[in-house]
Chain A
Amino acid sequence: MTREEIRGEVLEILKDIAPDEDLSNLDDKASFREQMELDSMDFLDIVMELRKRHRVQVPEDDYVELASMESTVNYLEPLMKDIQKV
């Protein structure tokens, strides 16, 4: 997957997790928490969705990498580059 495709996948997951949030103006550089109401159960859900949808494994020590859209895509890029978008 390309960076853009990975971003799209993360956005899909976020939409499912926070259906009440408007994500159209998401600032990729700013942290998710600043822009939406996410708690750590939400981050856990992101981790579970990544595992379920893409078989990507995020160890707990790396949860901090999921702070913003940009850092998430940076983190996922090497892990997902060989995955085909379906």
Chain B
Amino acid sequence: MAMECATLGPMPKDFLKNAQSRYDVVVIGSGLAGLTAANVLARQGRSVLLLEQHYKLGGMATWFKRPGGHIFDISLHGFPYGMVKSCRRYWSKEIADSIVQLDGVRFDNPMFSLQTSFTREDFTKKLIENFKLAPEQVHAFFDKARGMNFYDDQQTTTRELFDEFFPGREDVIRLLMEPITYANGSTLEDPAISYGIVFSNFMSKGVFTFRGGTDKLIGQMTEVLQESGVDVCIRCDVTKINLNHGKVASVEVNGRTIECDAIVSNANLRATIFNLVGEEKFDRGFIDDARAVRLNNSSTQVYMAMREDESLDVNELGDLLFSSTAPTFQTEALLSRDITSRTYSFYYPKVRPEGQPRHLIVSSTNARHEDWADLPDDDYEASKKDLCETTLDALDKYVPNVRERLVHIEASTPRTFQHYTAHIAGASFGTKFEGLAVSRALPQQITGLYHAGSVGIIMSGWLGAMNYGVIVANEVDNQLMTGGSASTTGFEKTVAGEVAS
């Protein structure tokens, strides 16, 4: 018997075995947009199959464990207050109740060093007292940013917006821009409106986090999905979307074909169009637009665990620290392999009150995929090691003797993000601005085909992705009911225009 088992080897597990042959909707990908779209559609009474290629749900909203009770969060650094409402509405009250405000956000660079609650009130105070700006000037800027509308012109760049209000004040630009660049990869060259909308959104009431960590959030979401009746399958890589007379017909996954009336793809926008469907299925003009969509940058991260007998002080370090040694703020410098700017997230036992009391640090940096993509294995490993070492050197200023106080350190790169999320070039924040219009136009090209996921800055991040999932779910539900294609393509603009206010 034993021999027979040995020769047979492990049986491949059929991750799709409980899936039916047909659903109203198939959702491809379980990032926050995919999860939320699936949950909303099931609650609307639709039969929903959620397919995820990875062995975990959550997409970028993820975590990993290391021996010693250490749990690292990848993208839980902070999100806007709006998450409370969206979680309560589209998930559950329990989930919303775990959202708590960060204690403090710090900046430290050659131009200034300060701590802020990250609210409009506090920024206003700091700009007037520390940066000696006239109150009218500050109020006028905030009002302008808040009043920004999606329909406004896209010609003005963020740089021009700053120059209008704070000419020559590189220090002010740095304070107002650096966190947003980290939050969504936007640059001084991007349209001012995308900055204004995100900035106002983030700055209304401070920065928030999820108590219990990403693992708890995704665990709770998984339970809710079950209650809502969504069939969830992991390790299911969708390889193809099949059409029938310009309408979605089925998906191909793990050797099976599953029929459906609608598809919500949470996979990367460009991957959806070019890999899953195929460009020959779309109009030329649409493909030209799709090809012109730029991907957002990727990231590197360094994960560090403090020894059990070591601790960090939140009053001293805060939860988030934007640090830089660059004399001025430049988008290019933020992406360079020669890192001068790092965002540190400090995780204290308060983050996981039910877990073991651990102190962790995650250092994040924006990065370019091409700087890492083609490195031979040896160079790649050496570069990762170098990333760890230089991070420790930089961190020593804030956490003295950090090397001796750690039990664990490792790094991730754009290649890591690409590997786990199948995002082209490991894009951390989906696509740039122009991706939104292409994402929205998909159902006009192919009936029943929708995309929901990080696009165009405003629809990215945890909150943006969730809300975009809801907007798209509403359209899908509408299409399933009417069988037609009454589109709501203007709607996201309205939402975008007012997250600001």
Contact = CB atoms under 8 A, between A and B. Distances in A.
B264 interface: no
A40 B482 contact: no
Contacts of B467: 41
Given A41-B470, A48-B40, A52-B44, A60 B486 contact: yes
B471 A44 contact: yes
B488 interface: yes
A41 B495 contact: yes
Contacts of B489: 60
B89 A45 contact: yes
A60 B487 contact: yes
Interface string B32-75: 00000000100111000000000000000000000000000000
A39 interface: yes
A15 interface: no
A57 B477 CA distance: 10
Interface in A44-61: 44-45, 47-48, 51-52, 55, 57, 59-60
B474 interface: yes
Main SS at interface, chain A: helix
Given A44-B471, A47-B474, A60 B40 contact: no
B170 interface: no
A35 B156 CA distance: 35
B198 to A, nearest CB: 16
Nearest to B490: A60
A17 interface: yes
Nearest to A55: B481
Contact of B477 (A17, A40, A45, A48): A48
Contact of B494 (A40, A47, A51, A52): A40
B89 A51 contact: no
Given A39-B498, A55-B481, A57-B482, A44 B44 contact: no
A41 B82 CA distance: 11
18 contacts: A17-B89, A40-B491, A40-B495, A41-B89, A44-B495, A48-B40, A51-B44, A51-B478, A52-B43, A52-B45, A52-B477, A57-B482, A60-B486, A60-B487, A60-B488, A60-B489, A60-B490, A60-B491
Interface of A: 17, 39-41, 44-45, 47-48, 51-52, 55, 57, 59-60, 63
Top 6 A-B pairs ranked by shortest CB distance? A60-B488, A40-B494, A40-B495, A59-B486, A52-B44, A48-B474
Interface of B: 40, 43-45, 85-86, 89, 467, 470-471, 473-474, 477-478, 481-482, 486-491, 494-495, 498-499
Given A40-B495, A48-B474, A59-B488, 13 more contacts: A40-B494, A40-B498, A41-B467, A44-B470, A44-B471, A48-B40, A48-B44, A52-B45, A55-B481, A57-B486, A60-B486, A60-B491, A63-B491
